[in-house]
Amino acid sequence: MDKSVNLVVGAGFSGAVIARLLADNGEKVLVIDKKNHIAGNSYDYRDENGIMIHKYGSHIFHTSNEKVWTFLKRFTDFNQYMHKVVAIIDGIPTTIPFNFNTLYDVFPKTLAKRLEEKLLEKFEYNKKVPILEFQKQDDEDLKFLAQYVYEKVFLHYTTKQWGVSPKDVDGAVTARVPVYLSKDDRYFQDKYQGIPLQGYTRVVENILSHNNIEVKLNTEFKKDMLNQYKRVFYTGPIDEFFEYKLGTLPYRSVNFKLETYDREYYQQNSVVNYPCNYDFTRIHEYKYYLNDKSDKTVIAKEYSEFFELGKNERYYPIPNPQNSELYAKYLKEAENLSNVYFLGRLGDYKYYDMDKAILRAIELYEEIK
Ligand code: UDP
């Protein structure tokens, strides 16, 4: 048998990037995906109204990594979109992450000013403070503020999203949305950000478009493929690869309920968070991302739920000590295999953003080339 071909399992960003780097280096690659589309959870499509829908929820590209940016720019141009998130706190639309503008939106001016002054005495301007650290305050006013932010921004949202309170999820999760001692209303401060002009599916298609790459959709990975290829790059769930023999790695899933409205816009912003009310965590309004023109609009209400095999999709690994321990055991098993590499959110069981998944694929390639 000709073992000159590499197998990549999964046609999301991780799989596509590693496949492309190998192909650029003259290697042959077969990419398989069990779904009927490429791009994994970044998959998007234009609906009948001409609106680009992010099937698996809003994806906003952002990075400060030059390597990642240089790589992606080969395959797409980006618009100048800078993501902002509005949250409704006790009926008041304001900015998330909680910052100085939020302070003035939700409190009377004199109180906001006092809190602002105390914050500036204690912290450097522009500092980002994770909520669990922000709660460690001695001053009574700042204690009040920390408790307010904890309750109004994090407690209910995190309980909806993760099924447990912010104290029981890994601190790195809530630290993604810190208290931001700034007037910068953007969700990300990365040097590069934007939405690919023709959508994410097209970017992945462009990455995979190479004479040395063949893509087969609706194709499951089977164990006997291991002996048929030069190397295997597996971006699926690592526990599934090992047939769950050491236990199951849990995930959160998300259910998006789409609604179409006969009006130009539904809400004031692409994403509106509901950290105090309702069972859904946030509402996405997709036409904002590429400024799509239509007299209709499509929104998605996002409901979080546990991942159950066969019922829904894996979205978020759940970082905690118990799951890390189980993942580490699978990793040990993986070390016994030669020429099999795990990567991606599911392969590494890590809450990667798109840029981090791309960087991981680039770094893995550099390691093995
Ligand atoms: N979070 C929150 N309230 C908010 C926004 C975020 O409590 O209004 C917490 C929540 O635990 C969430 C985490 O911060 O899971 C990370 O949020 P991010 O927006 O980065 O999540 P993603 O977009 O990846 O779902």
Q: Are 53 and 30 in contact (CB under 8 A)?
A: no
Q: How far is CA 46 from CA 42, 63, 122, 195, in A?
A: 13, 25, 48, 14
DSSP 41: G
Q: Whose CA is nearest to atom 13 of ligand 1?
A: 174
pLDDT surpassing 80 at residue 1? no
Evaluate: CB of 87 within 6 angstroms of ligand 1: yes
Evaluate: CB of 94 within 6 angstroms of ligand 1: no
- To test the pocket of ligand 1, the residue of 96, 152, 161, 170 to mutate (highest count of ligand atoms within 8 Å of its CB) is 161
- To test the pocket of ligand 1, the residue of 62, 173, 280, 316 to mutate (highest count of ligand atoms within 8 Å of its CB) is 173
Q: What is the pLDDT of residue 12?
A: 98
Nearest-angstrom CA–CA distance, 53 and 43? 9
Evaluate: CB of 304 within 6 angstroms of ligand 1: no
Calculate mean pLDDT across residues 322-340: 97
Q: How far is CA 9 from CA 33, 89, 214, 222, 309, in A?
A: 6, 43, 12, 10, 19
Q: Where are the domains of the chain?
A: 5-82+193-244+318-368, 85-180
Q: What is the pLDDT of residue 176?
A: 97
Evaluate: CB of 347 within 6 angstroms of ligand 1: no
pLDDT surpassing 90 at residue 302? yes
Evaluate: CB of 188 within 6 angstroms of ligand 1: no
Query: pLDDT, tens digit, for every residue of 97-135?
Result: 999 999 999 999 999 999 999 999 999 999 999 999 999
DSSP 176: T
Pairing of strands 179-180, 232-234: unpaired
**Torsions phi, psi of 175, nearest 5?**
-70, -15
Dump the DSSP string for 239-262. Answer: HHHTTTTT-PPPEEEEEEEEEEES
Q: What is the pLDDT of residue 23?
A: 98
Percent residues over pLDDT 90 in the chain: 99
pTM: 0.98
Calculate mean pLDDT across residues 45-73: 98
pLDDT surpassing 70 at residue 2? no
Q: Which residues contact 361 (CB under 8 A, 6 or more apart)?
A: 13, 14, 15, 17, 18, 21, 343, 344
Nearest-angstrom CA–CA distance, 61 and 190? 10
5-82+193-244+318-368: CATH topology: Rossmann fold (3.40.50)
